[in-house]
Structure 1
Amino acid sequence: MPIITKITQQKNDKERYNIYLDNAFFFSVHESSLVKFGLTKGMPLDEFLKDDLIYEEEIQRAFNRALHFLGYRMRSEQEVRQKLTEAEFGDAVIREAVLKLKKLNFLDDTAFSEALLSTQKNSSGKGPEAIRQEMKKKGIDPSVQEAVLDEYDPEEQLATAKRLAQKAARKNAAIAPVQLKQRIQNALQRKGFSFDIIKEAVNSIEFEPDEDEWTAITETAGEKAWRRISGKYSGYERKQRMKQALYQKGIPFDRIDAFIEKKELEENGE
């Protein structure tokens, strides 16, 4: 049975030690393995103990790889497991490394989810359903998802939805009310807000333009449609297609008729 004849500390990594068996280098171990197995000079090392040491070192390597991965930002347990799988560690080794990470609080899906919630709602203005999808992609347990999302107060959701709705309304002031309202509803739905929150946020916006704003809306949409349609149609067909195009934009018929009449007069030089 081989005997440990020498144990030396590595110069470049003070936490690792070189193990020599019968005066020949065997392999290096982490300080934790040295302590766990009570390795000392003169100690016999049978095959079972060798296998245990190798297994323990593989766990330590996986643990260190995960720590490096976690050094950039917080990760979910699923992300860490996937990273270690990609690094070709075995399932048993990954399981032990993850247990060690969790025991030392380096890995905590609840804390990760709380941080994700904070980032997504404050930086991206996302609603609970969109954040839930993010958590799901990260492999967060449904019970943890629910517990964390319960912290997203409905009043805070409404305030965020209103802020986004008002911003969209200012940005798209040249769009007719019907179309603008639908655009805002779609945007808030994509952000992950509930129907009730969206409805209340949309209702907080004043959608009725004044006369000057209606004129600008009609002119902008009308000129664009006129250029597109006049290149293909004329007469009655052009007029009907213009009415259809502008009505779909939410512009009232009286304003559509006035715009078309103005364009036809311009075309005739009147």
Structure 2
Amino acid sequence: MPTVTKVTQQRRAGRYNIYLDDEYAFAVDEKVLITYNLFKGTELDETEIETIKAAEFSQKAYTQALVYATGQMRTSKQISRKLKERGYETSLIKEVVKRLNDDHVIDDEAYAQTYVDQAKSAGKLGPRGVQFKLQQAGIDQFIIEDALVAYELDDQIAALTTRVASLLEKNARYSKFMAEQKTQQKLLQQGFDLNLIKQAIQDYRLNETTDETLEWDNLDRDASIAANRYADYSGWEFKQKVKSTLYRKGYDLNLVDKWLRQRD
């Protein structure tokens, strides 16, 4: 029966070379070494050797998953995807995920709760945006719903107050109407409630210091560009093309008519 005659430590911490009958046989993780008592003098039959190799393969998958989960929270699904990418079988992946859960390395409920708390603090995602991100991470829907209870209405309103101000200022080069549309679209994409978005925009407009010249300056710039584009046209056709272009950009047609009269 093959006998362990020598055990040497590799340069990699926690890895050991096993020699049977003075010939290199295989390498194992320290956990496998201890579990199967792979020290000098231990006798192994072929079945035991195959069991050890299988345990080593499992431990390798576990170690890789552990490294992936270290330093950043991961979900069960993310671990499963990573191991699948590395070619591991489904049965082994389930075993590794179970071990990580049992060892409290991963915890989908804690992941969801932490993600919701961080999203609230950052204020860049609304509840539906958070829900979508958690679904992408593979979190169970019931866990998501439980975690989202902590994302209260006041949290969303507070986030929108900041986001609306930032986005409207960013979109100030557009017409007032278009700036609001772009702001609304962006916030919808980020998962905020439509009615709350509209209310936040309305509140911002009520409290902002009105710049009487901004809308006109934006119109003047865009109208000049449109006028140059349609310079080959004249009369009614020219005016209609300019007006159509500016209407699509959200400008009030009375203001557009004023610009055209001044141009004439």
TM normalised by structure 1 equals: 0.85
Q: What SS does structure 2 have at the residue aligned with 1:204? A: helix
1:23–1:214 distance in 2 versus 1, CA, 3 Å: closer
Contact 2:123 2:159 (C-alpha < 8 Å) held by counterparts: no
Contact 1:15 1:30 (C-alpha < 8 Å) held by counterparts: yes
Superposed, 1:182-261 pairs within 5 Å as 182-206=181-205, 209=210, 211-231=212-232, 233-261=233-261
Q: 2: CA distance between counterparts of 1:227 and 1:99?
A: 67
Q: 2: CA distance between counterparts of 1:129 and 1:218?
A: 35
Given residue 258 of structure 1, which amino acid in structure 2 is its aligned partner? K
Task: State the Cα deviation string for residues 29-77 of structure 1 (Å, max 9, x = none).
Answer: 2232233234454443223222211111011111111122223532222
Q: What SS does structure 2 have at the residue aligned with 1:258? A: helix
Contact 1:4 1:19 (C-alpha < 8 Å) held by counterparts: no
Q: 2: CA distance between counterparts of 1:196 and 1:129?
A: 14
1:244–1:61 distance in 2 versus 1, CA, 3 Å: same
Q: 2: CA distance between counterparts of 1:199 and 1:214?
A: 20
Q: 1: CA distance between counterparts of 2:235 and 2:198?
A: 42
**Bigger mean CA offset, 89-98 vs 152-161:** 89-98
Q: 1: CA distance between counterparts of 2:169 and 2:10?
A: 64
1:253–1:32 distance in 2 versus 1, CA, 3 Å: closer
Given residue 227 of structure 1, which amino acid in structure 2 is its aligned partner? N
Task: State the Cα deviation string for residues 73-94 of structure 1 (Å, max 9, x = none).
Answer: 3222222212212222222222
Q: What SS does structure 1 have at the residue aligned with 2:26? A: strand
Contact 1:7 1:17 (C-alpha < 8 Å) held by counterparts: no
Report the alpha carbon displacement of residue 189 of structure 1 after superposing the two structures with TM.
0.5
Aligned-residue RMSD, C-alpha: 2.5
Q: 1: CA distance between counterparts of 2:40 and 2:168?
A: 77
1:234–1:60 distance in 2 versus 1, CA, 3 Å: same
Contact 2:10 2:16 (C-alpha < 8 Å) held by counterparts: no
Contact 2:131 2:144 (C-alpha < 8 Å) held by counterparts: yes
1:138 paired residue number: 137
Q: 2: CA distance between counterparts of 1:89 and 1:119?
A: 33
1:246–1:20 distance in 2 versus 1, CA, 3 Å: closer
2:104 paired residue number: 105
Task: State the Cα deviation string for residues 83-142 of structure 1 (Å, max 9, x = none).
Answer: 212222222222222222222222222233334334444447111212222211221111
Given residue 263 of structure 1, which amino acid in structure 2 is its aligned partner? R
Report the alpha carbon displacement of residue 243 of structure 1 after superposing the two structures with TM.
2.4
2:7 paired residue number: 8
Q: Which runs of 5+ in 2 are unaligned?
A: none
2:70 paired residue number: 71
Given residue 154 of structure 2, which amino acid in structure 1 is its aligned partner? E
Report the alpha carbon displacement of residue 238 of structure 1 after superposing the two structures with TM.
0.8
Q: 2: CA distance between counterparts of 1:84 and 1:116?
A: 23
Contact 1:128 1:192 (C-alpha < 8 Å) held by counterparts: yes
The count of corresponding residues between Structure 1 and Structure 2 is 262
Q: 2: CA distance between counterparts of 1:23 and 1:211?
A: 90
Given residue 144 of structure 1, which amino acid in structure 2 is its aligned partner? I
